[in-house]
Structure 1
Amino acid sequence: MNGPLPTMQEASQEAEFQLCAAKDVLEWQHALIKAMHLNHLHDGGKGIGDLFQVAKYFNDTGFGGVYSAIDEFRVLGESAPQNAEMPNRGAHGIGTGVPLAEFSKGRQMEAAARLGITQQALNTAIKSKRQIQVLEMQDGSVTAIETKAFPAPNRRARQ
């Protein structure tokens, strides 16, 4: 892998794309298998050779991106900073959060945009008094963490 490492967001977006592409290839292969079966049943298998060539093409070209995405994640995992002296690796330096209602007071549209959600979703979360803390990261981005009781109160008992 040459060049700078992608961010986790870029890597996850690429992984999602590659998985969707692989899913599409698998769906095409499934359709080809069904077509081969139908050709065998109704035409004595006369067209199976052509269908097989299409299936071989998908096999030869379909998963290269998946393999490269796996390699990319392996490199990301190996390059992640490690600090054995810190028991809570990755959680340091973030600081404390502020409640969602406080973060968005008087500026719900801007707050929603920074969080990547709609203003309606933000307003609903505030009105329902969800326990959400907003953390500002060192790069200026924000992330929200919700604390929930487990098991959820008022859940139905298993029967």
Structure 2
Amino acid sequence: MNNSLPAMQQAAEEAEFQLCAAKDVLEWQHALIKAIHLDHLHDGGKGIGTLFEVAKYFSDTSFGGVYSAIDQFKELGESVAQNAEMSNRGAHGLGTSLSLAEFAKGRQIDAAAQLGITQQALNTALKLNRQIQVLEMPDGSVTAVETKAFPAPGRRARQ
């Protein structure tokens, strides 16, 4: 592996490829096991040695790429800068999180346009005090996430 770390997306794509390749090898090994069984039943086991060698080859060579992809993810995870001063270290740590009211204060039309909704929908959400957090990403994009109780309060239980 070279010294530069791949981007997370590149590592994920490589890991997906390696896992698909490993899945293929497992399917081939399963087919070999069936072939060994059939050879034993119908030909007295004459071809078992050769089939076993193919199975051994798959076993010895098949998962190196998977282990390499796991190592890349581990290295990527260890290389991410850790910021102990960051107040929200969860999934929203990449950007700034604001309540919908904070995000839209004094600029409902612009805020609604950024979120891809109408100003009326934004105003309704604010009036209903919906629990919506707006995530502002470093690239300037925004995403809104609503937290709701489940099941909804006041819902009747099924009888």
Higher Cα radius of gyration: 2
- Is 1:40 aligned to 2:40, yes or no? yes
Matched residue of 1:28: which SS? Answer: helix
Identical aligned residues as a percent: 63
Q: After superposition, what is the alpha-carbon deviation per residue over 1:122-151, rounded to whole angstroms, capped at 9, x for unaligned? A: xxxxxxxxx9988563246x5745435353
Q: Which residue of 1 aligns with 2:127?
A: none
Q: Which residue of 1 aligns with 2:7?
A: 7
Q: After superposition, what is the alpha-carbon deviation per residue over 1:18-62, rounded to whole angstroms, capped at 9, x for unaligned? A: 111111110110110111011111111111111111111211221
1:119-134 paired onto structure 2 within 5 Å: none
Q: After TM superposition, give the deviation of residue 85 of structure 1 in Å.
A: 3.0
Q: Please give the alpha-carbon distance, in whole angstroms, between the structure 2 residues aligned to 1:60 and 1:93.
A: 41
Q: Which residue of 1 aligns with 2:89?
A: 89
TM-score (norm 2): 0.64
Question: Quick one: structure 1 residues 85 and 96, their matched pair in 2 at CA, closer, same or farther if it must change by over 3 Å?
Answer: closer
Residue ranges of structure 2 left out of the alignment (5+ in a row): 104-110, 118-130
Q: Which residue of 2 aligns with 1:75?
A: 75
Q: After TM superposition, give the deviation of residue 78 of structure 1 in Å.
A: 1.1
Q: After TM superposition, give the deviation of residue 93 of structure 1 in Å.
A: 6.1
Equivalent position amino acid for 1:86 in 2: M
Equivalent position amino acid for 1:138 in 2: P
RMSD: 3.4
Q: Which residue of 1 aligns with 2:61?
A: 61
Q: Please give the alpha-carbon distance, in whole angstroms, between the structure 2 residues aligned to 1:85 and 1:69.
A: 31
Residue ranges of structure 1 left out of the alignment (5+ in a row): 106-130
Equivalent position amino acid for 1:76 in 2: L
Q: Please give the alpha-carbon distance, in whole angstroms, between the structure 2 residues aligned to 1:100 and 1:36.
A: 65
Equivalent position amino acid for 2:64 in 1: G
Q: Which residue of 1 aligns with 2:137?
A: 137
- Is 1:149 aligned to 2:134, yes or no? no
Instruction: Work out whether residues 95 and 137 of structure 2, in 8 Å CA contact, stay in contact via their aligned partners in 1.
Output: yes
How many residues are treated as equivalent by the alignment? 132
Q: Please give the alpha-carbon distance, in whole angstroms, between the structure 2 residues aligned to 1:132 and 1:43.
A: 69
Equivalent position amino acid for 2:78 in 1: E
Equivalent position amino acid for 1:75 in 2: E
